[in-house]
Structure 1
Amino acid sequence: MPSFLDAMFSQLDEQIQLTEEDRARFELRANEVMKILAGANFITECSIIGSFTRKTALRELSDVDLLAVTTTRSSDSTPPPASVLSKIADTVEARGRQVERGNIAVTVRYPKNPSVDILPALSIKPAGHYLIPEYGNHWQEFEPSKLDHIVNTLTVQLGPEVRTIIRLLKYWNQNKNVGLISSDIEEIVCIILLRHRAIPEYMAAVSEVFDFILDWAIDSSESIEAIGRRCRSESIDRTLAITAEGRALTLKSEDASETQSSFREIFGV
């Protein structure tokens, strides 16, 4: 029988996950932008990727991610990401859409969510692998189906709670302005759950993720500065402070009298 705390997790998940109506709206928005991109002679293919395809998107907080594969690469020349981003932004803007030009994606804004993030890509071998922008006007390798496969496999093995844990932690990240990249959170949750033969209790899984983030900052071979560049918060210090606070609250939640208040403090609800 689910515990009172597990019931709180499930209830919040019901409030933040996409309904069928939401999914239809997200697809409609994505198809509208893909139709614009299909008219550009430098785009060879365009597809929906990311949390929408993994069923881990959040109702009021997620965008729709599009991968736009371009023809702007020749055998002896790879253009800088900034030039490809600019061409995409110009194309969409010319159709009267509100565009935000970023360093790794072009965002098409609407009065109501979802916005659409267009991620330019250059096709490389093997099939299904691409180059996408990273900070600093460089390209990095990307395999969009990799995380999809891991999330789907874990869901089959451990159950739908896998996606619940992912969505709740993504909600924590955005609602508390933690600053981590959304896909990083999904990867961390998958790393944690791959250690288990059965789904752990929700709060135990959250606690393990918080521990992982804190250990990542201290012990990872990746430097603290590199982690900071991957964060969307103003500083890595803020990210770690909020995570440490959340970790302390998971311990506090073990006291039955503090369970509900600790849950609400962690997720800001």
Structure 2
Amino acid sequence: MINVLGIKTVTRSGSFVSKYIPSFYVVVEDELAKSVIDCLYEGSDSLARKYIFSGVWGNQASCLYGFFTYGLALTDIQMPSFGIVAIVDGDVEEKSIRKRINDIIKGNHKNDDQQKIVEMISNSATSFHLDFQQKDINGLPEYNQKKWFEEITEERISKTHKEGGRKFLGNTREISSMLELVEFSKSISEDHSLIKKKNGRPDYHSYYEIIKNDFRPSNTDHKMNNITWYILSCIKYYTSEKWKDYTRAVDSKIRSLYESHKARFMESDFDFRS
């Protein structure tokens, strides 16, 4: 029997044997992307992961290049390579991502290891999906989350609960507070005094900060203490199709990565506890 407990896989077959499975790595641009992934896997104990923050997405290919270069060197000591995935926010075109990956190693004649690394980088990159891709807006992830959140209505919440969906909001007061927040969110537009302009374009990077500083619900709700997690959770449960479209590619890539990562360490003679 195999039972995965966090990052320790326990195997019972006659005598007791255990295998330590280290965390895999997730490269994200910022804390917001990390919050999305943490919300996606809320309650999942098996997907033990560590985060690397790349800042702008263009740094991710460089990060993966160094990671995989070092990983190939580790194979000389029979140590399995760690799993890693890089996640773009969704506001960069696929062709731009591919060009950046292909240009990470300069020169027209890559050696076998370099070509292998480029392929590994390409296979380890994925992106969130954003519905709204307006080129005249900065902060597209926040802007998309704002728009999805504002689609939530009392009728939608009631329908979700009646269909047996998880009740993220448990009572009338919580629902009332959330609907107040939806209305407040709608007031945060490009004309809002705290939405700054960058190169003449409204910048929604401050969306969550505005809510955190200015929104005061009629009823206190402890779930709103972490407003980013709160809004992401509302989207996840009450506009679930938008959430699934947003996270589908990332979820698939991470789960596939984890399985191959786990298999490498399960099959290896290398043990970090040695």
What TM-score, normalized to structure 2? 0.28
What TM-score, normalized to structure 1? 0.29
RCO comparison, higher one (Cα < 8 Å, 6+): 2
Structure of larger gyration radius: 2
